[in-house]
Amino acid sequence: MTGTLVLVRHGQSEWNLKNLFTGWKDPDLTEKGVEEAISAGRKLADRGLIFDLAFTSDLVRAQNTLTLMLKELGQEGLETRRDLALNERDYGDLSGLNKDDARERWGAEQVHIWRRSYDVPPPGGESLKDTLARTLPYYVTDILPEVMRGRRVLVAAHGNSLRSICMVLDRLDREHIVGLEIGTGVPMIYELSADTTVKSKVTLDS
């Protein structure tokens, strides 16, 4: 038996647009973000996908992305589980700051290290390794078992929490995961084999 797992990063948020570090802050989607979420839902509907269960984070931009996708799929009442384990990486003291202002304050090299290193967290925040440490256990205990039951599972979350899951699915090492870019509102469809490895992957980026 194989299952289907679809991962979608939320549509553009208000703070994405303003070039601010967002993390666990809770801005909503922009008009473009709403369009991206609707488009993602239509792409999934065009492929005839019907889901059995959905997961999302504790943040409104991911929740609203999921709501808009489910409306396009005609599945507004789908069972949905929310958990902060799927939240975006916590940027700590950087949260709410303009990225250019942060570079002026701490230096471009230091900010780059905080953003792109695997295990160096910003002050008061999480590294990608820290994010993985909370996201992956949730994936293993809550999401993966549902997929292994042969169910179709939709996850709407964030760039870094989804990176954590992709690190396992795509068998990426720490050097490659920091360079992985996940587009807003772009569905990634994984078919998993009985041994939990990836049988196939399709990215709906066009």
- The CATH number for 35's domain is 3.40.50.1240
Give the total number of structural domains in the chain.
1
pTM: 0.95
Please state whether beta strands 188-192 and 152-157 pair in parallel, antiparallel, or not at all (unpaired): unpaired
Q: Is residue 103 part of a domain?
A: no
Q: For 89, which DSSP code?
A: P
Structural domain for 134, as ranges: 3-16+28-89+128-203
Q: Is residue 110 part of a domain?
A: no
Q: Is residue 98 part of a domain?
A: no
Burial class (CB in 10 A: 0-12, 13-18, 19+), 171: exposed
Q: Is residue 120 part of a domain?
A: no
> Tokens standing for 136?
């992956």
Per-residue pLDDT of the chain in tens (206 residues, 90 and over written 9): 679 999 999 999 999 999 999 999 999 999 999 999 999 999 999 999 999 999 999 999 999 999 999 999 999 999 999 999 999 999 999 999 999 999 999 999 999 999 889 999 999 999 999 999 999 999 999 999 999 999 999 999 999 999 999 999 999 998 898 889 999 999 999 999 999 999 999 999 86
Which residues lie across from 80 on neighbouring strands?
54
- Identify the three-state secondary structure at position 200: strand
* Residue 8: partners with Cβ closer than 8 Å, 6 or more residues away: 40, 65, 66, 69, 154, 155, 156, 157, 185, 186, 187, 188
Give the residue numbers marked as catalytic: 10, 88
Q: Is residue 159 part of a domain?
A: yes
